[in-house]
């Protein structure tokens, strides 16, 4: 049953240190790669969010032995050739990453499988993945010719393709690359705008030879992955909510340790710098598979900016909370080239604009983004989360600025990516 929260803060300040949960994208992939590889893969810092637990559930149904102890996970696999055909449908919950990447992985097996998810997943477009996989020979059936779940996959021998990405999407790219592991020949993916590169990094971490040059990723099929250890850094998309809170809530100073700062994900840091945030980024380990940093953010005088072009894929998930940030900045902020927001967990352009308007924000939607005029004072209202974790968290951070209580429906959805979100808010309050 969904939960409603009424948030009422009086002159809050946020001070202290937190360690945000593990990166969702990397947590998903650690399970997938560990299941494909032969041997024992260990994972530390795993995100115990509902989406990542859906990925674990799917691989357990394929016969892979996965043990979870806190944020440590052990995956014992005899390799992809020894998976068992599942007796039931693989349920991916609310996770687009699980659904789309599993399509690529399962297409090259010998198994017959069916993927389905919740009501949100049933509306999300899947042909953007199914079509390039079909070019490789994949046998995928589903509603509207594979546009929507449920999707049935009859595993078969695949052939490599040379594919130019029509849109920047790490999920589509990753599905093709994971299918390419089992394909004959050299798989090539060409990107006009570089999307997050966790798959390429993890392929190398598991022993594959991968070439990445000028937006072109290529590698030979038939490579065997070798089990390894994966250390999952903190998720910068989760840290984003506290980066924004620290910048806009008066008299605040927040320190976040072990935050992943992968260059294909760290666009929000650049935007905060453009807007004049008082922030310090101290790199912890640049040589790791995924670089990390300690980030300190303080209450800041912010100026509006334009967010567009090739930075958009590097902060697409952070746009809802950046829109809230922009309501407190001096001047106008324009967000363009963000059409992908329309096919996320909900139409995030419409959702963000509708909910922030309820709070008194001066914001309007455009075809590919939004325009926000600031600064504006925010007041209370009843907000919808739309079952979207990032909209729910945006509303909760807005409540820290609101002159009266904010009520948010279905805050349970926040557990998808940040199960300890409200604990962290409370730990920072008025210290």
| 285 DSSP 8-state letter | E
> Is the pLDDT reported for residue 344 higher than 80?
no
Contact 67, 118 (CB under 8 A): no
Q: Is 402 annotated as a binding residue?
A: no
Q: Is 171 annotated as a binding residue?
A: yes
Reduced to 3 states (helix: H, G, I; strand: E, B; else coil), residue 209 is coil
pLDDT digits (tens, 9 = 90+) for 374-422: 999 999 999 999 999 999 999 999 999 999 999 999 999 998 889 999 9
Q: Please give the model's pTM, rounded to 2 decimal places.
A: 0.93
pLDDT for res 30: 98
| Share above pLDDT 90 across residues of the chain, in percent, rounded to a whole number | 92
Class of CATH domain 4-22+234-430:
alpha beta
> Is the pLDDT reported for residue 120 higher than 60?
yes
Question: From the centroid of its chain, how far is CA 94?
Answer: 12
Catalytic residue (one of 197, 235, 317, 409): 317
| Share above pLDDT 70 across residues of the chain, in percent, rounded to a whole number | 99
CB-count burial class (<10 Å; 0-12, 13-18, 19+) for 250: exposed
> Is the pLDDT reported for residue 2 higher than 80?
no
Q: Is 174 annotated as a binding residue?
A: no
Asked if domains 4-22+234-430 and 24-221 share a fold, the reply is: yes
> Is the pLDDT reported for residue 315 higher than 80?
yes
Q: What is the largest CA-CA distance in the chain?
A: 62
Q: List, in sequence order, the alpha helices (H) in 249-335.
A: 267-274, 319-327
Q: Taking the CA atoms of 53, 58, 61 and 66 in sequence, report the sign of the dihedral they define.
A: negative
Q: For residues 121 and 95, what is the distance between their CA atoms, to the nearest angstrom?
A: 7
Q: For residues 37 and 207, what is the distance between their CA atoms, to the nearest angstrom?
A: 10
Contact 24, 47 (CB under 8 A): yes
Q: Give the number of residues written for the chain.
A: 431
Contact 414, 421 (CB under 8 A): yes
Span 10-39, average pLDDT: 96
Average pLDDT, the chain: 95
Domain boundaries, the chain: 4-22+234-430, 24-221
Q: For residues 167 and 165, what is the distance between their CA atoms, to the nearest angstrom?
A: 5
pLDDT for res 163: 97
pLDDT digits (tens, 9 = 90+) for 155-174: 999 999 999 999 889 999 99
First to last CA, the chain: 33
Q: List, in sequence order, the alpha helices (H) in 66-108.
A: 96-107
13's CB contacts (< 8 A; 6+ apart) are 249, 250, 251, 252, 429, 430, 431
Structure-block tokens of residue 400: 């820290």
pLDDT for res 1: 44
Q: Taking the CA atoms of 418, 422, 423 and 425 in sequence, report the sign of the dihedral they define.
A: positive
pLDDT for res 431: 56
Which candidate, 85, 91, 125, 133, places its Cα nearest to that of 108? Answer: 133
In order of 161, 167, 339, the CA distances from 133 in angstroms are: 9, 16, 23
Q: What are phi and psi of 18, to 5 degrees?
A: -135, 160
Q: For residues 255 and 268, what is the distance between their CA atoms, to the nearest angstrom?
A: 16
pLDDT digits (tens, 9 = 90+) for 235-260: 999 999 999 999 999 999 999 999 99
Q: Is 169 annotated as a binding residue?
A: yes
Q: Is 139 annotated as a binding residue?
A: no
Q: Tell me what percent of the chain is helix, strand and coil, each rounded to the nearest 5.
A: 35, 30, 35
Q: Is 348 annotated as a binding residue?
A: yes
Give yes or no: 317 in active site: yes
Span 33-54, average pLDDT: 96
Class of CATH domain 24-221:
alpha beta
> Is the pLDDT reported for residue 348 higher than 50?
yes
Question: From the centroid of its chain, how far is CA 428?
Answer: 24
């Amino acid at each position: 049953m969904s939960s409603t929260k009424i948030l009422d803060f009086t002159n809050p300040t946020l001070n202290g240190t937190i360690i945000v949960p593990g990166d969702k994208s990397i947590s998903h992939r650690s399970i997938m790669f560990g299941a494909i590889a032969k041997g024992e893969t260990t994972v530390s810092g795993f995100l115990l969010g509902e989406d990542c637990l859906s990925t674990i559930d799917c691989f357990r149904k394929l016969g892979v032995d996965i043990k979870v102890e806190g944020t440590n996970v052990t995956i014992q696999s005899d390799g992809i050739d020894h998976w068992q055909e599942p007796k039931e449908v693989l349920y991916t919950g609310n996770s687009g990453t699980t659904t789309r990447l599993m399509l690529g992985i399962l297409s090259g097996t010998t198994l017959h499988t069916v993927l389905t998810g919740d009501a949100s997943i049933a509306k999300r477009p899947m042909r953007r993945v199914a079509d390039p996989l079909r070019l490789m020979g994949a046998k995928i059936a589903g509603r509207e010719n594979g546009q929507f779940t449920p999707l049935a996959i009859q595993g078969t021998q695949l052939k490599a393709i040379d594919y130019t990405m029509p849109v920047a999407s790490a999920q589509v790219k990753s599905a093709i690359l994971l299918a390419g592991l089992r394909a004959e020949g050299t798989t090539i993916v060409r990107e006009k705008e570089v999307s997050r590169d966790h798959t390429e990094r993890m392929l190398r971490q598991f022993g594959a030879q991968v070439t990445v040059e000028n937006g072109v990723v290529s590698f030979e099929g038939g490579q065997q992955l070798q089990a390894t250890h994966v250390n999952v850094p903190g998720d910068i998309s989760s840290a984003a909510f506290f980066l924004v809170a620290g910048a806009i809530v008066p008299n605040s100073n927040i320190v976040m340790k072990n935050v992943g700062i992968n260059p294909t994900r760290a666009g929000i840091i650049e935007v905060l710098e453009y807007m004049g945030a008082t922030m310090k980024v101290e790199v912890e380990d640049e040589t790791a598979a995924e670089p990390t940093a300690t980030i300190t953010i303080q209450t800041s005088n912010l100026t509006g900016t334009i967010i567009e072009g090739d930075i958009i894929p590097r902060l697409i998930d952070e746009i809802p909370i950046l829109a809230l940030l922009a309501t407190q900045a001096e001047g106008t902020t324009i967000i363009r080239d963000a059409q992908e927001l329309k096919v996320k967990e909900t139409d995030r352009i419409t959702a963000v604009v509708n909910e922030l308007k309820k709070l008194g924000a001066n914001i309007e939607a455009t075809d590919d983004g939004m325009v926000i005029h600031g600064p504006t004072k925010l007041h209370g209202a009843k907000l919808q989360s739309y079952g979207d974790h990032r909209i729910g968290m945006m509303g909760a951070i807005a409540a820290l600025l609101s002159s009266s209580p904010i009520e948010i429906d279905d805050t349970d959805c926040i557990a998808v990516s940040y199960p300890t979100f409200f604990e962290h808010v409370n730990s920072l309050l008025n210290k």
